[in-house]
A and B are shown apart, each in its own frame.
Chain A
Amino acid sequence: MNTQQDNDIQSANRFSRAIGWLWHLLGSVKLAFILILIIAAVSLIGAFLIQVPLETARDPQAYAAWVQNVATAKVGGSASLLYHLQLFNVSGSLWFLCPGVLLMLNILICSLNRWNSIQRALRGGAVKQQDSFFTGGSADARKEITSVPLSQTEAAQLLETALRRRHYRVRVEADSENTYIAADKNRYFRLGTFVSHLSLILFVLAFVFGGLMGWRNTDFEVNEGATADVGHDTNLSLRLDSFVAEYYADGVTPKDYRSQVTLYDNGQEVKEALVRVNYPLSYQGVSFYQSSFGATLIIQMQVSQIDTSTTLYEGGVTLKSMGSGYYVGNLDLPDQNYTVYVIGSTNAMDPMIPAESVYADVVGGDGSEVYDLVQKGIPISINGLEFTYSDDSTSQYSVFQVSRDPTNMLIWIASGLFILGISLFFYFPRRQVWGLSQRQGEGNSRLLIRTIAPHNFSNTSEIEALTKDFGKDSPVQRR
């Protein structure tokens, strides 16, 4: 019975000791240091090694195809290994996420542990300190002024004045022989690192939840004059009223491109706007960013098979240009035996592809490939097919990135808090000064000063400035 109880107590002890140890580990700066270095090292791999686009990474099949085609071309045979090690998607890999989660836990526990010491800092230490406190510490953190030709209260008052001039908060306590002074400044800025560390957690939460709750369409295309549905969880649709692209004198570098749009919610017009790069349109948390643009050429075409004289296709063929100088499109024929690429020029003066003509490139099922120029109104046979080009029309289209990121604002708030917190902490370091003015006979006293500066900050300049200030108002001898 007794031993049973003993065992229980023992195991409970062991358990609480293990918890204590774990808590200590998870709150330690050393762990933070190691985790930060691990995350840095893993990120570095992500900077050097080709990374899969995030959209592709979400779709296992697309990802596999990407590894096959894109990654293998870059890194060769090791692609498969690197894929299994998750190194093509470092930011989503366990190498990154595990230390990341641990670091957040680390910050949380560390902040909790530090709360007491911060509260103590806010209160300030005891005013009365032992004599030994004033003679301890490093030499640059203390000062002794003997034989001040003033009473101990007057000497203390001088020190108080000097401290107040330097914006210290001063507390005084006295007995018949001694006057004690405790002063500090910037104590609230001690909260700076606290705020910064917690804002990192806020940042990471906003980052994660923004990704989970939001959505993004990187390729929302609208033709000029047309209206397209935004989809996702919205009833929004966007009409592209007009589109303009301007170029610099070199004719290649875009100078400006802008879309005049109208936004509809449930079919009701809610907004008209000019969307340009750097000037997105936002409506109820959904934002439209100008991303790219292009032109469309629609060719009315008839294609028939020569040997059977059957019509394989009749109608519009859509060719697109995205700034390369050429319209490109392909023609899906019901007969799987043919693949037809159609190429037109955006430049009416093009020597290769004159106006009102396109190239058709016909790849037959047997692998034969023949191409030729198809001119408007002149039927031509290419690789067993006959092409008739009857009419054409051109239009512009604009591509938007559309996204909803409900935590976007939080990201900026957290970032701002982080910078504010460390700036206050670093640029306005908390300083503490203690003074002890001791009576040494009639009208004479001894003054002891001791300062404490934060880690790695120097005491020297502060204590020098203080004693200089002190001397300003009194004829004191210094030793």
Chain B
Amino acid sequence: MAGLENLFLWLSLAGIVVTIILAIMEFLARRKAMLALAKKEPASPPQTAAAGRNSLGIAGDALTILTILFISLTLVFRGILAGHGPFSDMYEFALAFAWGIVVMGAIFQWRYKTAAVKNAGFIIALLLLIFAIVEHTSPPPLVPALQQSTLLSVHVASGVVAYGTLTIGFGAAILFLIQNRRNSLWLPDKEVLDKISYQAVVIGFPFLTLLIVLGALWADIAWGKYWSWDPKETASLVTWLLYAAYLHARVMRGWRGRRAAILLIVSFAAILLTFFGNYIFTGLHTYNG
């Protein structure tokens, strides 16, 4: 099992890397074609990025599906080896997080007919996978508090959906800011990006809430206290509040577009702070867990 897990871990990495390379190649090819077209017929209306996919794009889609398969199998073999869901160490979290990004990226690509946001998410997934490989150890023994497989698996699963979608929202916000300045023809329309980023939060926020509530429920069962203001809990509250603020900003006048995108980027930084909290807060606190 450990051998298979390792094999698929590296295949996942390769899948992500090649998908990103294909995306870059597709981008360059499209840019070249459009520049050539513009030279030949300067007056003709410019094609948009959504129009037509070339063979590189199709290969990228196939590889995306393959990557989902690879990460899924890594998680499955890890699960068989450990005997439970991916909730016992940072390696497992990072792997599950990457899975969420890749799957949600594919779903958003299918729904909005643009691969750009998924590709942005893939870069985050790549960093997470590299982190996972660095942190990779054999499954650690479970201390009694962690022997609560059902609850913790659901907890991590909602985290996967929440973080996955919110990463896509972050990718859309970054691309929005780029589009806001340059309005490239090879990226989706900025209105589309704005919409994607909002939809990502709409899908992700209930799961983010569920993630925190299940964490609290677990703490209540294991330690008799659902909330103890430890730094990681507090960071998760900050994250939740920032996304709630974002949702309200969208109801207010003048808060679409640039300002909303910046708020979304700050909110995503809070996710990273929560996720890597174990490392960040140890220096400051006696943090255990």
- Residues of chain A whose beta carbon lies under 8 Å from any beta carbon of chain B: 29-30, 32-33, 36-37, 39-40, 43-44, 46-51, 54, 74, 90-91, 207, 216, 248, 250, 253-257, 276-278, 280, 287, 289-291, 401-403, 408, 411-412, 415-416, 418-419, 422-423, 426-427, 455-456, 458
Contacts and interface: CB of A to CB of B under 8 A. Distances in A.
Nearest to B145: A277
Contacts of A47: 231-232, 234-235, 238, 273, 277, 281
A47 to B, nearest CB: 4
Given A33-B252, A250-B141, A257-B144, 17 more contacts: A36-B245, A37-B241, A40-B237, A46-B229, A46-B234, A254-B143, A277-B144, A277-B222, A278-B148, A287-B224, A408-B220, A422-B205, A422-B209, A423-B206, A427-B206, A456-B202, A456-B256
Contact of A255 (B144, B216, B231): B144
B182 interface: no
Given A415-B213, A418-B209, A455-B250, A401 B223 contact: yes
A255 to B, nearest CB: 7
Nearest to A49: B284
20 contacts: A33-B245, A36-B244, A36-B245, A36-B248, A37-B242, A40-B237, A43-B238, A48-B281, A48-B284, A91-B229, A248-B141, A277-B144, A278-B147, A403-B224, A403-B225, A412-B213, A419-B206, A419-B213, A426-B202, A456-B202
B198 A253 contact: no
A46 B144 CA distance: 28
Contacts of A276: 144
A20 B125 CA distance: 51
A48 B244 CA distance: 21
B37 interface: no
B285 interface: yes
B261 to A, nearest CB: 14
Contact of B195 (A287, A415, A458): A458
Contacts of B242: 37, 40
Given A248-B141, A412-B217, A29 B248 contact: yes
Contact of B284 (A74, A426, A427): A74
B134 interface: no
Q: Which 4 A-B pairs have the closest CB atoms?
A: A289-B224, A277-B144, A40-B241, A47-B234
B10 interface: no
A226 to B, nearest CB: 22
Interface in B211-264: 213, 216-217, 220-229, 231-232, 234-235, 237-238, 241-242, 244-245, 248-252, 256
A276 B256 CA distance: 51
B251 A29 contact: yes
Nearest to A37: B245
A420 B231 CA distance: 27
Q: Count chain A CB atoms within 10 A of each CB in B143, B222, B224 and give the residue with the most.
A: B224
B73 to A, nearest CB: 28
A219 B69 CA distance: 48
B7 interface: no
A33 B249 contact: yes
Interface in B7-59: none
Contacts of B142: 255
Nearest to A44: B238
